[in-house]
Amino acid sequence: MPLLWITDPHLDRAGPAATTRFLEAVQQSDGDPIVLTGDISNAARCVADLERIADATGGPVYHVLGNHDHYGASVGTVRDAVVALAERRPEIRWLPPAGLIPLPDGRLLLGVDGWADGRHGDPRSTPLVLNDDRLIEEIAAEESRAGKLAVKRVLADADARRLATLLLRAAEAGADRIVVATHVPPFIEALAPESREAHPHWHPLLVCGATGSVLRRVAARHPGITITVVAGHSHRACQVQLLPNLRVEVGEARYGAPRVMRLPS
């Protein structure tokens, strides 16, 4: 039985019928772990939605947070809420603090949220803006574009450091196959080439350069470790082999139609 993967379900945008279909698909996990790569809903209901998913699967849910999960609140309060959730319901685990998770197929799972950090493309000249700038408190508090970008870079860099720590621990533990769950694609190569999101205007908003640098460095240093990265955020399916031992898969998503996929083997 393959493991299940959910990305960008945006349950706040899904109607009752679509949500019921989604939760029925979640039940197929048969108690195996589910990997969830963010944008569950928004800050007001993210915890309740995680519980609904966990209730449906009956098994553990390992997740990262997406940018939308902070909409309407702050990064600090949402993190506090998911940490408290894990204390109350230990089967629902936010991955950055959860550490290394052995999967039933023998792989080791770890994850960080990731933030689009403007390390690709030109963040100062792109005409595009995400709602992050006004709906996430820490970012909205900065008035200037440069100030908002600085906050995103601090978040991205902290996640990249956490990712480096977890990958090092996995290597020291002798892992040979690692699954990295993250919300924001770490490479521009992971933006579907034919999609509008592949345009350089999108690069500053859709890619986390900080986590990408860590992944490339660790994969190059440890050719014996195979790393599979699963991500969301762009909503465009894309599979790319960055290095012989580093592969990225971005999951397709559509507002109003949450779905369940198989975790790439």
Q: Which residues bind Fe ion (CB under 5 A)?
A: 8, 39
> Would you say 61 and 53 are in contact if contact means Cβ atoms under 8 Å apart?
yes
- Rounded to a whole number of angstroms, the minimum distance from the CB of residue 227 to Fe ion is 23
- Rounded to a whole number of angstroms, the minimum distance from the CB of residue 255 to Fe ion is 8
- Rounded to a whole number of angstroms, the minimum distance from the CB of residue 186 to Fe ion is 16
Dist CA 196 CA 206 (whole Å): 12
Q: Hey, which residues does 111 pair with through a beta bridge?
A: 181
- Which one, 14 or 246, has the nearer CB to Fe ion? 14
The closest alpha carbon to 232, from 166, 170, 185, 162, belongs to: 185
Amino acid in position 201: H
- Which one, 12 or 105, has the nearer CB to Fe ion? 12
Burial 167-180 (b: 16+ CB within 10 A, else e): beebbeeebebbbb
Backbone angles phi, psi at 136, to 5 degrees: -110, 120
- Which one, 109 or 250, has the nearer CB to Fe ion? 250
Backbone angles phi, psi at 111, to 5 degrees: -170, 155
- Which one, 68 or 162, has the nearer CB to Fe ion? 68
- Which one, 222 or 233, has the nearer CB to Fe ion? 233
Burial 208-227 (b: 16+ CB within 10 A, else e): bbbbbbbbbebbeebeebbb
- Rounded to a whole number of angstroms, the minimum distance from the CB of residue 261 to Fe ion is 14
- Rounded to a whole number of angstroms, the minimum distance from the CB of residue 253 to Fe ion is 6
